[in-house]
């Protein structure tokens, strides 16, 4: 009986001791790391949605996680209560982009590490991950000086699809390209390429050549960054 009472007293009387000054400093560092994470996602992320808006969630997630861990880390009773509280949380909006999920996980990891007073290892790990991600993305963007575009040819007439002709023209103006779509039906025909051009002048030169070679086709060129990721 005494052992049970002792355990109950341990649960009810245990109060986490938090240094307010250290907590404020840690929260500030967490906010800075969250801001850097948000900047990296906005600048180098692959998602075509509004990245700058979504990225603000990383700051709040990191800081909120740190606050929760700071409060419950020294209290078994609060830790058990946290498990019950989180069990009622439901996400109404599915996260469709794996990259978004990865960044959210990093922001949670920042909050966990800072809340557990593991500032040094959290900061070092975060900087290594962030630097590695930026270098990796910049290597993928190294060809971004060339113009990357979506080439779409459409025709409402029963014209023959100029697939062979376009395939012969592209090597003159493009570094690389991918055929994405060939569509033919009774009313319209469509031919779609993703193209990385040598330079801006090559875009106009290809357009002029296509106008001469296939005058019955509508030619649309649209910017499409990240198409070869």
Q: Tell me: the pLDDT tens digits for 151-189?
A: 888 887 666 678 888 888 888 888 888 888 887 776 778
Question: What percent of the chain has pLDDT above 90?
Answer: 21
Supply 72's token pair: 């419950």
pLDDT surpasses 60 at 5: no
Asked if residue 159 lies in contact with residue 216, where contact means CB atoms within 8 angstroms, the answer is yes
Domains of the chain: 2-140 (no CATH), 148-223 (3.30.70.2690)
pLDDT of residue 159: 61
User: Of 221, 183, 216, whose CA–CA distance to 200 is shortest?
Assistant: 221
User: Of 158, 210, 204, whose CA–CA distance to 184 is shortest?
Assistant: 158
pLDDT surpasses 60 at 15: no
Residues 6+ apart with CB under 8 A from 187: 156
């Amino acid at each position: 009986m005494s052992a049970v009472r002792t355990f109950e007293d341990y649960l009810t009387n245990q109060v986490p001791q938090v240094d307010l000054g250290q907590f404020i400093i840690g929260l500030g560092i967490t906010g800075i790391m969250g801001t850097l994470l948000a900047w990296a996602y906005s600048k180098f992320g692959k998602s075509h949605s509004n990245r700058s808006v979504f990225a603000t969630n990383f700051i709040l997630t990191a800081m909120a996680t740190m606050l929760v861990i700071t409060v419950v880390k020294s209290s078994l009773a609060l830790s058990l209560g946290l498990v019950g509280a989180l069990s009622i949380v439901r996400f109404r909006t599915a996260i469709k982009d794996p990259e978004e999920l990865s960044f959210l996980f990093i922001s949670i990891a920042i909050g966990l590490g800072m809340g557990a007073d593991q500032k040094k290892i959290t900061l070092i790990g975060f900087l290594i991950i962030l630097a590695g991600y930026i270098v990796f993305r910049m290597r993928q963007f190294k060809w971004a000086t060339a113009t990357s575009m979506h080439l779409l040819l459409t025709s409402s007439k029963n014209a023959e699809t100029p697939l062979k002709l376009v395939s012969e023209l592209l090597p003159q103006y493009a570094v690389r390209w991918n055929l994405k779509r060939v569509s033919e039906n009774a009313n319209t025909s469509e031919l779609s390429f993703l193209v990385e051009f040598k330079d801006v002048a090559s875009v106009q030169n290809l357009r002029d050549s296509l106008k001469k070679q296939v005058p019955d086709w509508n030619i649309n060129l649209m910017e499409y960054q990240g198409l070869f990721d």
